[in-house]
Amino acid sequence: MLKSDRRTTIDDVEKMLDPPDAVVEALLQARARVNRYPERALGVTSTFVSEDARMHTVFVERMRGLLSRADMQTPTWRRLVKVTEAGITQFLPTTSCDLANFIRCLTFHVWVLGVLKPDDPSDRRLLSGHHLTVEQITNAFFSVSETGNTSVSSDQIRGALGQWIPDHDDDNNPVNLVFPVYEKLWRLVAATVLCSQGYSVSKNPLLDFCENPTRRQFETSRGTDQGPSATDIMNEVLRLHPPVQEIWRQCGHPWWETLVHGRMQVADIKAVQKFDEAGEVIEEPNKFVPERWRGERKPVMFAFGSGQLKCPADPWAQALAALIASKVTDRVDGMAFTLEKIGGTPKYIWDGWLICRLPSN
Ligand code: HEM
C-alpha cells in the first residue's frame, strides 16, 4: 500500500496545489504521474495525463474558447436551454429509471450536442447507429472514474464518440473533449437536483433560474427576505458534494523525505471546505445551508482546484449545471414524474434514487 500525505487544512491544500515558485512543467509532471488510469482505460491523451507544457497551453485555450462561445449572453447559451429540454424529453423513462443514470445520459447529451456541436439543430438526438449507446458510454466513463477500469474498449468508445464529435486538426481524440469534463459536470447536476428538493416550488431559486436563465437571475437573491440565489445553492452543493473529492499529486520530494511524508499528496477537498476564509470551522459543516454564502465570512472553495492548474470553467460550469438541474426539477415535479428513494447505505447522495412516471388519469 502506497503511503500518502493527506492535506485537510487551507494552508496545506494551498501549498500542495499552488506551491510558491513552482514552474508549470513541475506541476504538470506531478499531476500526470498520478493520472495514468484514464489514459490506460479510455485513451485520454490531454493535459490531464501529460507533462507537456505546450499541450497544456493549447488544450486550456481550446477549452476557454468553447466556454466563451457558450457564455450566458450568447445565442449558443439560448440554444443550450432548448438542447437541455429536448434531452430531458428523450431520456425520461416510460416507467422508471435510476436518477444518476438519467443525469449522466442527459449531461452527456447537453455537453456533446449543446457545447461541442453548437451549429446543429437543437432537436437533434444522439442516435447510436452501430456504436455504443449513450448509456453504455456514460456507464463506461463512470466505471473508469470509480474503479480505473471498464469492460468496454477504448477503441469502441472512440468510435462511438467520433460519430458525433468531429475530429479536430490538432487533436484527433474526441475522448479528450468529453470524459474529463462531463464526468465532473453530471455529478454536480445530480447532487443539485437532490439538494434543492428541500425547497417548495414557490421558494426554489433554481426554478426562478429555470424560467429566466440569465446571469442576473443566477446571481439574484430571492424575495424580500434576501433568501439564497441560484449561485448560493450551487456553491453550497459544490462545498458539500464536490465532484472531485480528492486531488492527487506525486510529490517531488527527495526519496528520504518521501519515507516520512509518502510519495503521494492528497488534497481532501471535502474536508478543507468545512473551513471559512478565516480558517475557522463553519457552523454545522455537514448541513446544506446555502444562506451561509450570503454571510460576511464565506466558506473556502477548492472544488475547482487552485493555482496555475485551476479549472477554467469556474463559474460557467455552475451555471450550466444549474440550468440542467433546474430543468429536471421543473419536469420531475410530482405531477407526471416523481423522485423515489429505495433503501441501502449510499456512497453518493444520488445512490438509490429513481425517477418514476406517475400513472395519468
Ligand atoms: C462541475 C464541474 C467541474 C468541476 C468540479 C471541475 C473541477 C476541476 C478541477 C478540480 C480541476 C483541477 C485539477 C487539478 O488540479 O489536477 C480542473 C481542471 C480543469 N478543468 Fe474542470 N471542472 C469542471 C468542469 C469543467 C468544464 C465544463 C470544463 C470545460 C471547459 C473544464 C475544463 C478543465 C480544464 C481544461 C482543466 C485543466 C486546467 C489546467 O490544467 O490548467 N472543467 N477542473
Q: Whose CA is nearest to atom 36 of ligand 1?
A: 311
What would the pLDDT profile of 293-302 be if each residue is shown by its tens digit? 999 999 999 9
Weakest-pLDDT range from 39-43, 75-79, 270-274, 277-281: 39-43
DSSP structural state of residue 250:
E
pLDDT at position 259:
63
What band does 59 get if pLDDT is binned at 50, 70 and 90?
very high
Q: Residues 189-237: pLDDT tens digits?
A: 999 999 999 888 888 999 999 999 999 999 998 766 778 999 999 999 9
Q: Is the CB of 50 under 6 A from ligand 1?
A: no
Beta bridge partner(s), residue 28 = none
67 lines ligand 1 (CB under 6 A): yes
Least confident of 71-80, 226-235, 245-254, 334-343: 245-254
Q: What is the mean pLDDT of residues 345-359?
A: 95
CA distance linking residue 302 with residue 242, whole number of Å: 9
Is the CB–ligand 1 distance for residue 244 below 6 Å?
yes
Residue 304 CB less than 6 A away from ligand 1: yes
Tell which one of 183, 234, 241, 311 to mutate to probe ligand 1, the residue whose CB is within 8 A of the most ligand atoms: 311
Q: Which amino acid is at 232?
A: D
User: Residue 171: is its pLDDT beyond 80?
Assistant: no
Ligand 1: distance of its center to the CA of 313 in Å? 6
pLDDT in tens, 304-330: 999 999 999 999 999 999 999 999 999
Q: What is the pLDDT of residue 153?
A: 93
Q: Which of 248, 244, 187 is nearest to 36 (CA)?
A: 248
pLDDT at 125 over 80: no
How many angstroms separate the Cα of 305 from the Cα of each of 18, 267, 315? Answer: 9, 9, 13
Q: Give the pLDDT of residue 159.
A: 87
CA distance 84 to 52: 35
> Which residue, judged by its Cα, is nearest atom 35 of ligand 1?
60
Average pLDDT, the chain: 91
Residue labelled with grid coordinates 466558506: 299
Q: Per the structure, how many domains does the chain have?
A: 1
Q: How far apart are CA 264 and CA 250, in angstroms?
A: 5
Report the relative pairing of strands 96-98 and 353-357 from DSSP bridges: antiparallel
Contact 294, 284 (CB under 8 A): no
Task: Determine the structural domain holding residue 269 and report its residue range.
Answer: 4-357
**pLDDT 10s digits, 22-38:** 999 999 999 999 988 88
| 100-104, 117-121, 130-134, 355-359: least confidently modelled range | 117-121
Contact present, 200 and 187 (Cβ < 8 Å):
no
Q: For residue 227, report the distance from its CA to the centre of ligand 1, in Å.
A: 29
What is the mean pLDDT of the segment spanning 137-161?
93
Q: Check: CB of residue 322 under 8 Å from CB of residue 230.
A: yes
Nearest-atom number in ligand 1 for the CA of 302 is: 10
**Mean pLDDT, residues 62-76:** 95
- Measured by CA distance, the residue closest to atom 6 of ligand 1 is 304
pTM (predicted TM-score) = 0.95
Q: What is the CATH number of the domain that holds 350?
A: 1.10.630.10
Between the CA of 137 and the centroid of ligand 1 the distance, in Å, is 20
The pLDDT of 107-115, averaged and rounded, is 95
Binning pLDDT at 50, 70 and 90, where does residue 338 land? very high
Q: Determine the atom of ligand 1 nearest the C-alpha atom of 307.
A: 15
Whether the bond between 315 and the residue before it is cis, its omega within 30 degrees of 0, is: yes
Residue 2 has pLDDT above 90, yes or no: no
Confidence grade of residue 262 (pLDDT, cut at 50, 70, 90): low
For residues 172 and 165, what is the distance between their CA atoms, to the nearest angstrom? 10
**Residue whose CA lies nearest to ligand 1 atom number 18:** 311
Whether residue 181 has its Cβ less than 6 Å from ligand 1: yes
Cβ-proximal residues to 360 (8 Å cutoff; 6+ apart), any chain: 336
